[in-house]
Amino acid sequence: MKEAEALRRCEMLRNLINRGPGNDPDALSEALGILRTLRANAADYPRRRLSEISEELRRWFSARRWREHSDPAGLRVRDRLMANITMVEKTWSSASEPARS
C-alpha cells in the first residue's frame, strides 16, 4: 500500500474516533476493517502500533470501558489513539517496500 493511501486511512480512523467515545458498533466495525487493511500491508513496526490501536478502539467504542477513574472524559484513551495513529503515519512503510533508513 502506498504511503498516501495509508495516510488517508489513518485520517479515516481519526474521523471515526472523533465521533466520540461510547457504544458505537458501526464505528468500531468500520475502524477495525480499516486497521485490518493497514495491518495486512504494513511493515513490522507500524503493524505493532496498529495492534495497540485495535485494542484501544475496542475500549473507546465500548459502553463504559473508555472511562477511567481519574479521566472521566476519556481524554487519555483518545490521546493514546491519536498518538499511535500519528506514529503509524510517521513510520509507515509497506511490507512490500524496503525499510526506511
Higher-confidence residue: 101 or 42? 42
The Cα–Cα gap between 84 and 66 comes to 16
* Helices and strands in the chain: count of H runs, count of E runs: 4, 0
For 17-75, how does the pLDDT look when each residue is reduced to its tens digit (9 = 90+)?
Answer: 999 888 899 999 999 999 999 999 999 999 999 999 999 999 899 877 777 667 777 78
What's the pLDDT score for residue 64?
A: 74
Closest CA to 95 of 39, 49, 51: 39
pTM passes above 0.95 = no
All structural domains of the chain with their residue ranges: 3-90
